[in-house]
Amino acid sequence: MAVLPLRHLPDPVLRQKAKRIRTIDAALQRLIDDMIETMHAENGVGLAANQVGVLRRVVVIQLPDDEQATVLINPEIILREGEVEVHEGCLSIPGYRGDLKRAVTVRVKALDRTGKSFRIRGQELLAEALEHETDHLDGILYIDHITDPESFYKMDSLDASEGDRQANTASG
Ligand code: NI
């Protein structure tokens, strides 16, 4: 396994649509392992293949309480419910945060790393991560969901108490 270099904005690979995976082979397993290791090294809660420069539809998600990463191949959001304002960051846009709206509940269908189809229902942070990472595969970044420019800011321009809140914000 290896920690892969992260792609940062404005790298064009972040704006491209990843291709559907048709074959689950050794190269894909290696990519998944490397993505999990990279997510851990970067303290992220999720990572999409675009973020390591690979245009294939695979994401990994691991929330702070999860014992292991969830791997989603060809994820598709099949249901979104509710709306909540969240405070979000992205490993590909280091040093910044933004406020935007996400669904409260999300249902996704995907393949696991063995190629088996499964469904996952996420609420709150998991719903946010599922939307954020699936967006990456379509070249969409969280900043695209921000309508008010004042809702996008640099972390070090904030006061200390705000900074603590930021430290608890997940990035993926
Ligand atoms: Ni991200």
Of 54 and 170, more confident: 54
pLDDT at 165: 43
Note the pLDDT tens digit of each residue in 65-111. 999 999 999 999 999 999 999 999 999 999 999 999 999 999 999 99
pLDDT at 156: 73
Cα dihedral 44, 46, 52, 54 in deg (nearest 10): 180
CB 54 within 8 A of CB 47: no
pLDDT at 1: 83
Q: Is 60 exposed, middle or buried (0-12, 13-18, 19+ CB in 10 A)?
A: buried
Taking the centre of ligand 1 as the mean of its atom positions, its distance from the CA of residue 170, in whole angstroms, is 10
Which residue reads 């930021």 in tokens?
A: 166
pLDDT at 158: 52
Catalytic site residues?
A: 133
Taking the centre of ligand 1 as the mean of its atom positions, its distance from the CA of residue 114, in whole angstroms, is 25
Which helix (H) or strand (E) segment holds residue 76: the answer is strand 70-81
pLDDT at 166: 43
Give start and end residues of each alpha helix (H) in 42-140.
125-137
pLDDT at 164: 43
Taking the centre of ligand 1 as the mean of its atom positions, its distance from the CA of residue 8, in whole angstroms, is 10
Taking the centre of ligand 1 as the mean of its atom positions, its distance from the CA of residue 160, in whole angstroms, is 24
Structure tokens at 112: 């696991």
- Read off the pLDDT of each residue in 44-57 and give the average, rounded to a whole number: 98
Confidence category of residue 44, pLDDT binned at 50, 70, 90: very high
Residue-range domains of the chain with CATH: 12-170 (3.90.45.10)
